[in-house]
A and B are shown apart, each in its own frame.
Chain A
Amino acid sequence: MYMAHSVLVQANGGTSAQTREERLYVVSSVLIFFLLGFPVWLKSTEIYRAPLPFAAVEEYSKHVGSSSLTFPCYFHFIFLEKWAEDWNETLVIEDLENVVIKASQAIHNIVKKSNSSYNYGGCGTSFVVMASLDAGEKCVRTGVPTGLPIWPCGLMRSMPFTLVHQNDNDAVDEFLNRFSSESLIDWEYGASWRGRTSGMYTILSIKENGHNESASGNGGYHGTPKAVIGKYRHAWLITSSRNSLIANEEIEQLSNVVVKFFMNAGGSSHSSKISMEEKGEFLPLAADGKAILSFSLLNAEPADWIFDWNFNELQVRFLDPILQALQPIGYLEVESQVLYHTPSTIQSVWEPAAGKRVVLFEHIPFFVNANEWHLDTSTAAAGRSKVLQFAIYIPPAVECPLHLKQQDGNLSKTNGFTSPGWGGVVIFNPGNCRRNFSGSVQHLSLKNMEPIMNVIIAQIRVLFGLTASISEFNDENMHCIPAVNTAFSEWEIDVLLRRRAAADVASSASTLRSLSHLVQSLPNMVIKDEIGVQVRNSLSAAAAAEYNASKGVYHAAAEAARKARSWAEEAFFQPSIMSLLYLPLEHHFAIYTPFFVPVLLHTFLAAFKEIKRYVRACKSTSSS
């Protein structure tokens, strides 16, 4: 511009062609500089946005929205019968096929009647019913897909019928477990058989041989359960002998057992107002499938007594087996602390009828004194982890023994309560309620802690969406064997796994969808490469989960679903996505106008004038 001005000053005397041309070159060079610089400026102020697979995410979320993740379930009914002489093999096969059809129909009806609540985590409509008749030397099967590892023939020969009729359920359960595992161990090489049995349930039908049901003598069947659900993946039914081979009522009962327990883990007593979808969400795990169980021993009044515990022992004895059993669902860690001077906010009242101090039912929601109980002080818990608090409260001597009152007015037998998603509280009343004036620390042994830990185990079950104790379902027709080794029966773990995997996949789809909407609505936001990588990882893990689930490989599918959700959450909660730039078009104008408009205006005007002059001069020279 300066040069052009000096040229103009020089050439003020006369507008020769050369000076005219020089002026034109100068002005046009400035203009061309700006024009060339414009794309460079656009490129340099471009916001780096890693390309995200928006279309794939949309399609995936639509697909998940229409159908939740379903796992196939295989139900194998084995009828143990002595082969009668007049039986024809083809007729028996026909009977079995009838059984398969009727049972499938019955299960279908029950599932449909209870609307959608059985579809989530409950196999839905992707179940297969198989039936076989095991008569010792003869064995007839129908409905078995090829290659499926099912129980072999020969059960009739080794079945301990005496134990069955003596109602020694535990022994029968262990025998059946040994039988199934020994036979399955040959089928595939050792490592994978554990995962392969998930989703395959066997129900035996055993006839009472020769005993008359109505006889009142010893060994009669009054009061004995007719169906026994084991703690692995099998159950058995004891039916009275009938004329026909397999009765309709038997099929009905088999189907009921199958749906109620193996598909739906018994259903839940309270919290029926929560839909099954939320049940899956309410598994108290963080997005990456981990959770921390934090145990706190609360000494409310150390002046009265001080208690301590050896938590390592407790962990090894009570918690490790449970955590091991729950591994397919999530990774749980354990930590513990002992706190002092932790009174409750609630004053208990004296109940003269019971002769005890009670906490009224309406006061229980305020029992946890969050100001004095510093429970959430975990150093192991990272930002987005899930912590479940278990507080064992030792009341002061003036309130000992302290009991909780239930809603119906009775005193609580367990003195414990849970809060969904938070954890549980148990009150521990020291045996004799005598103050310890010496101030010494009293150690709680394993034996002291056993009743408390039993309550806590029940609370863990409740927090995971099951009933406190499986014995709640016992009645005269049903008996459920509690899982005394691991607190969770294997079929219960299957149900939880199905729920969690379906919830994981649904959550990852919705997270990715909201992430893609967010990213598309903010064109000014930088998107790092990491986000693209995480989104793609999440999509591929979700695809792997669907594939594994359709094949029936439960553990791998659950692991893949967990990864899908974890990646999706990582992508969504990337700290670099900050949507605080509300930058409409007016703001763009306001920012750039003061920089460029004055300069460009002058440049364009000068160029325009020069070009006009040049053209006029050209015309005059050419015409002259």
Chain B
Amino acid sequence: MVPLRLVLFLFLVKSVQTVCCSSLHTNNWAVLVCTSRFWFNYRHMANTLSLYRTVKRLGIPDNRIILMLADDMACNSRNSYPAQVFNNENHQINLYGDNVEVDYRGYEVTVENFLRVLTGRHDSAVPRSKRLLSDEGSHILLYMTGHGGDQFLKFQDSEEIQSHDLADAIEQMREKKRFKELLIMVDTCQAATLYAQLYSPGVLAIGSSRKGQNSYSHHLDSEVGVSVVDRFTYYTLAFFENLDIYSNASLISLFQSYNPALLMSHADYRQDLFPRALNEVPVTNFFGSVMEIVHTDSAFEGFKGSKHREMACSAYSISSKECNNAVDTGMASNSEKSSQGLENVSVGIFEWLLHNLDDESADRVVSIGLVGLVAMVILSSCL
């Protein structure tokens, strides 16, 4: 297994030079994953919802956010504030207030679904709102929070995702050009180990703690009864408090704003796979949204469209009826023309019927038909 992995790695290293980040940045996506369930992990859901609010405020629309939550806090029987989720004991913001669109909830938050979202390998019945429809111009923010350990992250208290699997999934994303740049933000214990195995270029990662360190919650809300936010996320939100969609604070200012004394752990980041210098990257490149705009310089004047069909056909000295058939179907062979003529006739009758039966006359026709039907039945039974 190991030598094969080495060979694969070398193969991919060779192919790295074909992936030049020369595509334009055209859209932003966010994948926010809360991997915990149960009441005592309230703070993880609050973390994720806070970040959801932040990216929405900075411009990423709902149809470009994939939100995965266990979603069992707001209506939990232990919640003394039903349908409300807070991330601060001052209860100023209700994170669950309005316009929260959860894409994967409850038992749908599994490692398999998460990897399917990343790699794009869904069943054909999965709707577009549950897919990561990114392309080669997308910047993706991947935020994960929950309980983690050395090289793994626990999902819903029943399974784990390993750092190798995450690295493989991201490599498949890169091969399929599903992102231009990717920022991974992890808020768990020993977060830095989760991205230690990454090898795809274009990925930037930051974690709330190093190997062997825990990440801690910020404060306890005595009315709710549990901790409501984690320290790393709390200070991240504090950083974004003062920003708006036009702001150009850089990523390095975000990364350097974390104080190890306040976090009680060392927030580590990994930039060896990222091509750009961090002081040149504005945070809105990942946390906000941008549309690449091209102004339409001129209209297409004088478009005549289908009116010119007849003129073109007369040039070929074909009769107009045959011409319509030919132009409609894009073919000009004789045998097919005649069969299409028949088809067009029968289709035409149907269309004529449909066209002529508007509402009132349709009702009349139906009622006359019903009466006639009953009369026929009576007649035939009498005979």
The answer to whether A482 and B293 touch across the interface, beta carbons within 8 angstroms, is no
Q: Which residues of B contact A (CB under 8 A)?
A: 1-2, 4-5, 8, 11-12, 18, 22-24, 26-27, 56, 59, 61-64, 99, 111-112, 115-116, 119-124, 126-128, 131, 135-137, 161-162, 164-165, 168-169, 172, 175-176, 245-246, 289-306, 308-309, 311-312, 315-316, 327, 330-334
At the interface, yes or no: A424 with Cβ under 8 Å from chain B? yes
Chain A residues near B309 (CB, 8 Å)? 321, 485
Cα–Cα distance between A378 and B64 once the two chains are bound (Å) = 15
Q: Least Cβ distance of B243 to chain A in Å? A: 14
For A584, give the chain B residue with the smallest CB separation.
Answer: B1
Known contacts: A382-B124, A487-B303, A584-B2. The answer to whether A371 contacts B308 by CB under 8 A is: no
Known contacts: A320-B306, A321-B305, A484-B308. The answer to whether A578 contacts B121 by CB under 8 A is: yes
The answer to whether B303 and A484 touch across the interface, beta carbons within 8 angstroms, is yes
Cα–Cα distance between A174 and B303 once the two chains are bound (Å) = 16
In residues 430-476 of chain A, which contact B (Cβ within 8 Å)?
A: 451, 453-455, 457-459, 461-462, 468-469, 471-472
Q: Least Cβ distance of A441 to chain B in Å? A: 18
At the interface, yes or no: A420 with Cβ under 8 Å from chain B? yes
Interface 1/0s, chain A 507-519, versus B by CB < 8 A?
0001100100110
A-B contact pairs, 29 of them (CB 8 A): A182-B316, A190-B334, A320-B305, A324-B330, A364-B295, A370-B289, A378-B128, A383-B124, A383-B131, A407-B295, A414-B295, A416-B299, A419-B26, A419-B292, A421-B26, A422-B26, A424-B296, A451-B299, A457-B303, A462-B294, A468-B298, A469-B298, A469-B300, A510-B175, A514-B172, A518-B175, A579-B168, A584-B2, A585-B1
Known contacts: A485-B305, A517-B12. The answer to whether A459 contacts B296 by CB under 8 A is: yes
At the interface, yes or no: A82 with Cβ under 8 Å from chain B? no
Known contacts: A406-B295, A517-B12, A578-B116. The answer to whether A461 contacts B300 by CB under 8 A is: yes
The answer to whether B305 and A414 touch across the interface, beta carbons within 8 angstroms, is no
Known contacts: A406-B295, A412-B295. The answer to whether A383 contacts B300 by CB under 8 A is: no
At the interface, yes or no: A252 with Cβ under 8 Å from chain B? no
Cα–Cα distance between A521 and B162 once the two chains are bound (Å) = 17
The answer to whether A414 and B298 touch across the interface, beta carbons within 8 angstroms, is yes
Known contacts: A181-B315, A485-B304, A579-B172. The answer to whether A574 contacts B299 by CB under 8 A is: no
Sorted nearest first, the 5 A-B pairs with minimum C-beta distance are A370-B61, A514-B175, A454-B299, A191-B333, A416-B296
Chain A residues near B4 (CB, 8 Å)? 520-521, 523
| Interface size band for A | 35 or more
Apart from the given pairs A318-B303, A484-B302, 20 other A-B contacts in the complex at a CB distance below 8 Å = A185-B316, A190-B334, A281-B136, A366-B59, A366-B245, A370-B289, A404-B295, A416-B296, A419-B26, A420-B294, A421-B27, A458-B298, A472-B298, A484-B304, A487-B303, A514-B175, A514-B176, A575-B122, A579-B119, A580-B112
The answer to whether A413 and B315 touch across the interface, beta carbons within 8 angstroms, is no
At the interface, yes or no: A93 with Cβ under 8 Å from chain B? no
In residues 318-342 of chain A, which contact B (Cβ within 8 Å)?
A: 318, 320-321, 324, 327
Chain B residues near A461 (CB, 8 Å)? 300
Chain B residues near A485 (CB, 8 Å)? 304-305, 308-309, 312
Looking at A364, A462, A487, A514, the one whose CB has the most chain B CB atoms below 10 A away is A514
User: Of the candidates A458, A484, A517, which one forms a contact with B11 in the assembled complex, judged by CB atoms under 8 Å apart?
Assistant: A517
Chain A residues near B175 (CB, 8 Å)? 510, 514, 517-518
Cα–Cα distance between A321 and B23 once the two chains are bound (Å) = 32
At the interface, yes or no: A381 with Cβ under 8 Å from chain B? yes
For A582, give the chain B residue with the smallest CB separation.
Answer: B164
Chain B residues near A453 (CB, 8 Å)? 303
Interface-side segment among A106-114, A135-143, A147-155, A267-275: A267-275
Chain A residues near B165 (CB, 8 Å)? 579-580, 582
In residues 340-395 of chain A, which contact B (Cβ within 8 Å)?
A: 362, 364-366, 368, 370-371, 376, 378, 381-384
Cα–Cα distance between A583 and B8 once the two chains are bound (Å) = 16
The answer to whether B123 and A575 touch across the interface, beta carbons within 8 angstroms, is yes
